Copies of this chain bind each other. A is one copy, B any other.
Amino acid sequence: MHRVRVRVVEDALDANNTIARANRADFDRHGVTVVNLMGAPGAGKTALLERLLEDPLPGVRIGVLEGDVEGSLDADRLAGLHVPVTQINTAAGFGGECHLDANMVRSALGTVPLDEIDMLLIENVGNLVCPAEFRVGEDARVMVTSVTEGEDKPLKYPLMFRACDLVMVNKVDLLPHLDIDLDLLLHRIDKVHPDVPTLVVSGRTGAGVDAVRDWLGQLHATRAGARV
């Protein structure tokens, strides 16, 4: 049975990549830079999005695509921030998918106003494993890891840390109350993914969020330059 299963999974990933390329072509045609935001449940992805969206990125209109197994809590949280937010629920398929895939994103594109935005931030389902295996047509993959999760996560979930173009280390406001060694965490991120940029942030206090805004602005400028 195992060999059949591997074959089915490989076929599914091939099909996913084909659809991801189609998504990417659509995004490029509209000049939209796309970021796939990943991290464990409770890492603080939505709180960071709220902080990011409080202040505009100069010249970059942002839209959000929210992926959740069930419900629209996160989309509701972001609804007050005057950016277009679209919800995808993965529970519609079997049992509840633990990640977004290219086809789910494609199905939602009809309701994303690609003509009215310059950047689409896609918040993936909270999970440190499978989202890293499914491209959705993004330009960059960004992950959030919280200091409350411990300094062992890069070693235990290396695929996710390797897949990312930026790692945000969140909840640093809690450092005085934790036993975690931040330097060791940063060292391990670098060991698993040498030279990946890291930004130390707090969704609660807003610390470091301007640097995230700068990184996103630069990503958009680079992508826009490449499309000309």
CA distance A177 to B127 in the complex (A): 25
**Is residue A116 contacting chain B, with contact meaning CB distance below 8 A?**
no
**Chain A, range 119-146, C-beta contacts under 8 Å to B:** 125-130, 133, 146
Query: A50 an interface residue at 8 Å Cβ cutoff?
Result: no
Q: Is the CB of A155 within 8 A of B204?
A: no
How many positions in chain A have a CB within 8 Å of any CB in the partner chain? 49
Say how far A5's CB is from chain B's closest CB, in angstroms. Answer: 7
Give residues of chain A (146-193) contacting chain B, Cβ–Cβ below 8 Å: 146, 148-150, 152-153, 155-159, 171, 173-174, 177-179
Are B159 and A95 neighbours in the complex by a CB distance under 8 Å? yes
Decide yes or no whether A71 CB sits under 8 A from chain B.
yes
Given contacts A126-B128, A127-B128, contact A153 B42 (CB under 8 A): yes
Stretch of A8-16, A24-32, A56-64, A208-216 with 4 or more beta carbons under 8 angstroms from chain B: A8-16
